[in-house]
Amino acid sequence: MATLTKLFAGRGVVIWVGILTFVAITATESYTLLQDGFEDSPTRVVHGAIVGLLLLVALLVGTRWVAASLGAYLATLFFFFGDGDLLLWLVFSLVIFSVLAATANSSIVRIWYLVLLAIWMGQYGIRSGEDAILLVIFVPIAAVAYVLARNIFNLRERNLNAVLLMEESREQNRVAIERERKNIARDLHDIVAHDITVVAMQSKAAKFANSGQAAIDAIDIIAKLSTETLHDLRLMLNVLRTDGTMSDSSGGSADKPAATTVYAVQGLEIFTQRLKDSGFSVTSHTDEKISELPRSAQTALYRVMQEATTNIIKHAKRESSCNLRLEISGSNAILEMTNQMPNSKPKKGDLPVGGIGLIGMRDRMNAFGGRFNADVVDGHWVLTASIPF
């Protein structure tokens, strides 16, 4: 079906309609030639059969090479059409080949055809004698066929271009939707995975706490993080819902949710405190020039810190030391987070290597032309992320 559509679309329909027309006329001439014999047949019939074959070959060539097809037709005009004997052939061929010329993509080919056709008509009027009056028919037929076909072809091309633009726009929309889905999934992972991980760890801490105050402190952290997570999810739902019916009603709360704070410097302070609340000994250093980064770049660094903090809480040696560093080095803003690995040899899959979190962090850095690396060095998990400053 696709092959037939391509074959009979645009220029193809002109060629194949012409071929069928010439086959019908040639068949009539050939039948007369066979009936009367070659020697007894009129010269017009013999010429008609020969010209029919030549025009058929010329049209078949046009399926691949339009310029060659038009050249063969013009040669046939100059050699075989010197009078009005082959009037039927001449009328049909002028229409078909003028339409074919109008579909040529090259303006040079179209001009070349029209100039040579005008020259043929001029010499036809000189040498055809009384048949020169037929130019009154030939000229308007060729002109109307060419102009109409050219206009239709241009309209078809514009329609095809419009369809291609629509398909391209549809593909761009699809890519944009996929990219946005990926971004939303990544943000949901960063927000929910981090907060739920801290909640889970604090729940264990409350369960095994040696004192009531320690349990109360852990429960306070759980309550705060649960509220923050709920608030962040509502904010993300507001982005997905255009009517904004899920807007948060909490108003100006004093405890602004950490996950919605997208400034890198404040983020380092927040996640340092999260690690301390989870029992880690934390040292941190921040370069205040980081605040000069664009908001989007700070958001990317914030999310990397958030995911890295989640991984430390999940995989690092309990109550070990961590180091967080966020500073400007040369032309890059660099985030480095280091934590001690557990003493026991981790099983396959225990370390956060190649998971969704690391893929998301790498994607965030790549989006800004930055770099990301995470590996085990001397028993420590070292994560480094950089963004051009």
Asked whether residue 37 is assigned to any structural domain, the reply reads: yes
CA 102 to each of CA 50, 108, 162: distance values in angstroms, whole numbers, following the listed order: 26, 11, 21
Residue 76, in any domain of the structure:
yes
Q: Can you tell me the distance from the alpha carbon of 170 to that of 201, in angstroms, rounded to the nearest whole number?
A: 46
Enumerate the β-bridge partners of residue 377. Answer: 380
Any domain includes 200: no
Strands 281-286 and 380-388, sheet pairing: unpaired
Residue 199 has pLDDT above 60, yes or no: yes
Q: Give residue 105's domain range.
A: 2-127
Say yes or no to pLDDT of 246 above 50. Answer: no
Q: Is residue 168 part of a domain?
A: no
Query: 8 phi and psi, to 5 degrees?
Result: -105, 20
| Contact between 304 and 335 (Cβ < 8 Å) | yes
pTM of the model: 0.46
β-pair partners for 327? 334
- Last residue of some domain: 127, 159, 177? 127
Domain count, the chain: 2
The CATH number for 279's domain is: 3.30.565.10
Helices (H), 257-294: 264-277
Assigned domain for 105 exists: yes
In a domain, 163, yes or no: no
Model pLDDT for residues 8-23, shown as the tens digit of each residue: 456 777 777 878 887 8
Last residue of a domain, one of 127, 160, 195: 127
Evaluate whether residue 89 is within a structural domain. Answer: yes
> Does residue 139 sit within a domain?
no
pLDDT tens per residue across span 256-305 = 444 444 688 888 888 898 888 888 899 999 888 888 888 878 888 888 88
**Domain stop point among 127, 162, 177:** 127
